[in-house]
């Protein structure tokens, strides 16, 4: 059933400081592009009633390129991400995630910050952000001043739909270190498995990167969506892959598949089931290793 409109309130704030002051009082919650929240609203499932629109806060928007990082404002949309030359050149996993999220109209309104804080285990950008070892800046207003803290994105999701974000806090910045360049031998790979190309929520998605020197994998980062209560890094599989000779992949692939299957905890839900997710995860790993062997960099 549709929401009963008179029950809801939405206000705006003129500045980040003003927004944080409102949020500090505890009654209002942040509302960005609305592509998650409006769907709940429409379905009559939006249980909170007072919303602060942060969409107008331009200080939370845009991509800044620094020497060691790129810093993206939380309100940066998928469309803005796809247009950015530095992201295109250095963060192809994020470009792919953005391109495969919803369709154009969703990409024009959906924000990276909203995707992170919404904390769906099936979201498409978290695996990319995990591979890039993103850092998040969380801000709040204490005694009339903006206070900021940085947390590692890897620690942000503390359980199904729960995060380190405290009441009254906003996600301000997503920072990605510029470390996985192709010139350093890193190969990157992203694949989303869903029912159709556009608009589909993932059944599984993988973001991965590995450093290959000669025929040897010297470093690896692998992250998955939809196979655990939170988007996850596959640390055991990464450790297993380090030092492996790609020339001998046929001899260790079976073991690698077993390792990745042992560290995920997929479930049955409306989009897929645990067995399918386990099998496809193994296939996705194998596909990634084949790409490493083929010597292609993208």
Partner 1 sequence: MSKSSVAKRVPVSFTVNGKSHSLEAPAMARLLDVIREDIQLTGTKEGCGEGECGACSVILNGELVNSCLVPVIQAQGAKITTIEGVAQGDVLHPVQKAFLECGGAQCGICTPGMVLASLSLLEKNPNPTRDEIREGLAGNLCRCTGYMKIFDSVARACGSQQ
Cβ–Cβ under 8 Å, residues 160 and 120? no
State the pairing for strand pair 9-12/50-53: parallel
Q: How many residues bind ligand FAD (CB under 6 A)?
A: 28
Our CB check for ligand FAD shows the closer of 94 and 123 to be 123
- Phi and psi (nearest 5°) for 171? -80, 125
CA distance 120 to 254: 31
CA distance 24 to 162: 19
> Does the protein bind ligand FAD through residue 123 (CB under 6 A)?
yes
Using CB under 6 A as the binding rule, the residues of this chain from 154 to 173 that contact ligand FAD are 170-171
Q: How far is the CB of 127 from ligand FAD (least distance, A)?
A: 10
Our CB check for partner 1 shows the closer of 31 and 186 to be 31
Q: How far is the CB of 48 from ligand FAD (least distance, A)?
A: 9
Our CB check for partner 1 shows the closer of 103 and 182 to be 103
Query: Which of 13, 16, 37, 220 contacts ligand FAD by CB under 6 A?
Result: 37
Q: Please state, as a whole number, how many other Cβ atoms lie within 10 Å of the Cβ of residue 27.
A: 11
Residues of this chain that interact with partner 1 (CB under 8 A) are 2, 4-12, 31, 33-35, 38-39, 41-43, 49, 51, 53, 55-56, 79, 102-106, 108-109, 197-199
> Does the protein bind ligand FAD through residue 39 (CB under 6 A)?
yes
CA distance 51 to 29: 5
SS3 293: helix
Cβ–Cβ under 8 Å, residues 173 and 136? yes
Burial degree of 99 (CB within 10 A; 0-12, 13-18, 19+): middle
Q: Please state, as a whole number, how many other Cβ atoms lie within 10 Å of the Cβ of residue 1.
A: 7
Please provide the size of the chain in residues.
Answer: 298
**CA 158 to chain CA centroid, nearest Å:** 15
**CA 30 to chain CA centroid, nearest Å:** 19
Our CB check for ligand FAD shows the closer of 210 and 281 to be 281
Our CB check for partner 1 shows the closer of 13 and 117 to be 13
The stretch near ligand FAD (CB under 6 A) out of 81-89, 111-119, 209-217, 284-292 is 111-119
Our CB check for ligand FAD shows the closer of 74 and 220 to be 74
Q: Where are the beta strands (DSSP E) in 111-259?
A: 135-142, 145-152, 157-159, 162-163, 170-177, 186-193, 204-213, 216-225, 232-233
The stretch near ligand FAD (CB under 6 A) out of 23-31, 178-186, 270-278, 281-289 is 23-31
From ligand FAD, partner 1, none, interface partner of 74 (C-beta below 5 to 8 A by class): ligand FAD
Q: What binding mask, one character per residue, do residues 55-94 give for ligand FAD by CB under 6 A, x or -?
A: -------------------x--------------------
> Does the protein bind ligand FAD through residue 224 (CB under 6 A)?
no
Our CB check for ligand FAD shows the closer of 193 and 280 to be 193
Cβ–Cβ under 8 Å, residues 159 and 230? yes
Contact residues for ligand FAD, defined by CB under 6 A: 29-37, 39, 74, 101-102, 106, 109-111, 113-115, 117-118, 123-124, 170-171, 199, 201
């Amino acid at each position: 059933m549709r929401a009963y409109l008179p029950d809801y309130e939405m206000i705006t704030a003129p500045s980040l400081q003003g927004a944080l002051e409102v949020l500090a009082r505890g009654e209002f919650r942040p509302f960005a592009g609305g592509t998650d929240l409006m769907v709940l609203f429409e379905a009559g499932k939006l249980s909170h009633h007072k919303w602060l629109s942060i969409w107008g806060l331009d200080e939370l928007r845009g991509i800044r390129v620094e020497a060691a990082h790129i810093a993206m404002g939380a309100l940066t949309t998928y469309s803005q991400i796809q247009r950015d030359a530095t992201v295109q050149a250095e963060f192809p996993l994020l470009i792919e995630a953005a391109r495969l999220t919803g369709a154009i109209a969703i990409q024009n309104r959906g924000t990276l910050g909203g995707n992170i804080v919404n904390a769906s285990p099936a979201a498409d950008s978290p695996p990319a952000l995990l591979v890039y070892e993103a850092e998040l800046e969380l801000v709040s207003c204490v005694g009339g001043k903006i206070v900021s803290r940085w947390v590692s994105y890897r620690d942000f999701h503390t359980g199904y739909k729960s995060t380190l974000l405290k009441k009254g806090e906003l996600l301000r910045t997503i920072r990605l270190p510029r470390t996985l360049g192709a010139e350093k031998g890193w190969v990157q790979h992203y694949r989303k498995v869903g029912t159709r190309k556009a608009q589909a929520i993932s059944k599984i998605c993988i973001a991965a990167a590995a450093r290959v020197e000669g025929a040897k994998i010297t470093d690896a980062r692998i992250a998955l969506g939809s196979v655990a209560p939170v988007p996850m890094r596959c640390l055991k599989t990464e450790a297993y892959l380090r030092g492996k000779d790609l020339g001998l992949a046929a001899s260790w692939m079976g073991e690698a598949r077993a390792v990745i299957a042992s560290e995920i905890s997929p479930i049955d839900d409306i989009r897929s089931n645990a067995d399918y997710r386990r099998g496809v995860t193994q296939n996705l790993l194998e596909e990634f290793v084949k790409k490493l062997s083929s010597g292609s960099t993208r």
